[in-house]
Amino acid sequence: MDKLYFVVGSQDLYGEECLKNVAKDAQEMTEFFNQHLKNVKVELLPTVVDSKTCIEDLRKVSCDDECIGVMTWMHTFSPAKMWIKGLQELRKPLLHLHTQANEKLPYDTIDMDFMNLNQAAHGDREYGFILARMRIAHQVVAGYYKHAKVLEKIGKFIDVARAINFSKHLKVGSFGNNMREVAVTDGDRVESQIQYGWECNYFAVGDLVKVINEVTEAEIDEKMAEYTSKYTMKTTRIDSVREQAKYEVALEKFLKKNDLGAFADTFQDLYGLKQLPGLAAQNLMGKGIGFGPEGDYKISALSAVLMKMSEGRPGATGFIEDYTYDLTEGEELELAAHMLEVPVTLAKTKPEIDVLPLGIGGKEDPARLIFDGIEGDGIQVTMVDMGDHYRLICADIEFVKQPKPMPNLPVARVMYRHKPNFNIGTAAWCYAGGAHHSVLSTALTREDLVLFARLTGTEIICIGDDTTEADLQKLAWDKYQK
Ligand code: MN
């Protein structure tokens, strides 16, 4: 299980008795966290009493592959120069928990011993200074550690830390290159690896075709059984569906063999495939595999990372492409989809498997899943390469039921309303340089993305009900500053 280390700060100024109490309280808190925090094991490290213990603790945090992050707290005053060298070695997400072992002040009995032992108000400020002084990105969570709100915030940090750990180990395979002439889906792969850990490498589609051609009828039968257990078979063209089943079996093998958690393809380079991978890609995304069409390795990787972040939470997360609008004044809506590959995670209705013409790509009619999209509050997130830095854009949106049936639309679809309204929301996205490929989520919030951005050193632009005309003007102006 993922591990979160807990490091408590003190010093030897207050005597042995005080340090014993610090260790005892820290142990009690650790046990409480283990009872109340999900999907993580909290492990207490020795109390930091000097520079040496701090270096030892934070080296352990940085070198343990099972560790996703560290939570620190100053039970007493812990002079922050003792923390400098340890913090210089820290390479994991950092949470500064600003709390106390006691909830209430013992007004009747409080004396100087109590004051010396329980002085986070004092020690955590000293510590906060050194984090600020050293420009170390971190999250502060303030409040009594047993309060539900505090636990919830720690839980969110854990989700983001888990996603960052996943990101640092993520390998992305590209079949073919970026779609010809398309700008926003391209990016600096070297920088992606430096900043996010994504190992983005090219694979010949011919090597995948070799695996496809070796898939057995029995393996296809098994995949077909998976499809029919999950989806409604609307088509009678079963051979076309079996072709997709074969692609998915081969893709699963290929991804596993090369340790890939995400992949991208391009319809301009699919030699040896009769269909575009539609259903196959849709079903794989339902298993947390990142996918980017048209060579978009960034959205493939980002979608895998955000699916990891939302693991265990209610709601859906998945890739989408902005497509077309209903511009009825005051009631503007967006219809988002993709030419095939809308992830099954975004389905509200039971998906139907159908085989229909595509009208692009010059291949045989591909099997795909068709469904109506999720509803409720959510976010839309994209990442663009600005040349000298990456930028995340996160817009609050409201997923809505499609106002009318669309019987002739041969793809899965999602509809949403922009915030604060269509004019400001979409103009802000355009000014920010937002892509037409993004990740949608009803499981994540702006708060999660802001934390992810901070901990990975990424610029983020947020759009929502708090975005105004004045923000728009500022965004428009900033964008043209060199
Ligand atoms: Mn696209």
In this predicted model, what pLDDT tens digit does every residue of 310-344 receive, in sequence order?
999 999 999 999 999 999 999 999 999 998 999 99
According to the model, what pLDDT value does residue 229 have? Answer: 98
Query: Ligand 1 center to residue 185 CA distance, Å?
Result: 9
Enter the tokens of residue 212: 């496809």
Across 414-443, average pLDDT: 97
Query: What local confidence, expressed as pLDDT, does residue 303 receive?
Result: 98
Read off the pLDDT of each residue in 298-303 and give the average, rounded to a whole number.
Answer: 98
pLDDT band with cut points at 50, 70 and 90 for residue 457? very high
Q: Which residues are found with C-beta within 5 Å of the ion, ligand 1?
A: 293-294, 321
Q: Is the pLDDT of residue 481 over 70?
A: no
Residues β-bridged to residue 232: 352
Just give the CATH number of 3-168.
3.40.50.10940
Distance 321 CA to ligand 1 centre (A): 6
Q: Is 163 strand, coil or helix?
A: helix
**Rounded distance from Cα 360 to ligand 1 centre (Å):** 12
Interval between CA 41 and ligand 1 midpoint (Å):
40
- Name the residue ranges covered by the structural domains of the chain: 3-168, 171-478
Q: What is the predicted pLDDT for the residue at 482?
A: 60
**pLDDT confidence bin for 61, thresholds 50/70/90:** very high
pLDDT for res 136: 98
pLDDT, one tens digit per residue, over 37-49 is 999 999 999 999 9
234: confidence class by pLDDT, cuts 50, 70, 90? very high
A 10 A CB-CB count for 28 gives: 11
- Kindly report, residue by residue over 173-221, the tens digit of the pLDDT: 999 999 999 999 999 999 999 999 999 999 999 999 999 999 999 999 9
User: Do the two domains 3-168 and 171-478 of this chain adopt the same fold?
Assistant: no
| pLDDT above 70 coverage of the chain, percent | 99
Q: What is the pLDDT of residues 370-413, one digit of tens each?
A: 999 999 999 999 999 999 999 999 999 999 999 999 999 999 99
Given this model, what pLDDT does residue 360 score? 75
Ramachandran quadrant class, 313 (left: phi over 0; alpha: psi -120 to 50; beta: rest):
beta
- pLDDT given at position 240: 97
Q: How far is the CA of 437 from the centre of ligand 1 (A)?
A: 6
pLDDT tier at 477 (50, 70, 90 boundaries)? confident
Architecture of 171-478 per CATH? Alpha-Beta Barrel (3.20)
Distance from Cα 263 to the centre of ligand 1, integer Å: 14
Confidence of residue 478 (pLDDT cuts 50, 70, 90): confident
SS3 126: helix
**pLDDT class for 476, splitting at 50, 70, 90?**
confident
Contact 127, 13 (CB under 8 A): no
Q: Supply the angle between the helices 297-309 and 189-196 in degrees, to the nearest 10.
A: 20
| Predicted local distance difference test score (pLDDT) of residue 480 | 67
Place of tokens 């699963």: 252
Separation of CA 293 and ligand 1 centre (Å):
6
CA of 79 to the centre of ligand 1 (A): 53
Ligand 1 centroid, distance to 244 Cα (angstroms): 20
- Residue 479: pLDDT above 70? no
Rounded to two decimals, the pTM is: 0.97
Looking at residue 361, its pLDDT comes to: 73
Could you read off the pLDDT of 93-133 as tens digits, one per residue?
999 999 999 999 999 999 999 999 999 999 999 999 999 99
Residues 3, 69 contacting (CB under 8 angstroms): no
Query: What's the CA-to-centroid distance between 159 and ligand 1, angstroms?
Result: 28
Tokens read off for 125: 């400020």
- In the chain the first and final C-alpha atoms are separated, in Å, by 46
Ligand 1 centre to CA of 202 (Å) is 19
Phi, psi of 293 (to 5 degrees): -80, 165
Bond before 420 cis per omega within 30 degrees: yes
Average pLDDT, stretch 460-475?
A: 95
CB of 42 closer than 8 Å to CB of 30: yes
Cβ neighbourhood burial of 143 (10 Å; 0-12, 13-18, 19+): middle
User: CB–CB of 455/165 below 8 Å?
Assistant: no
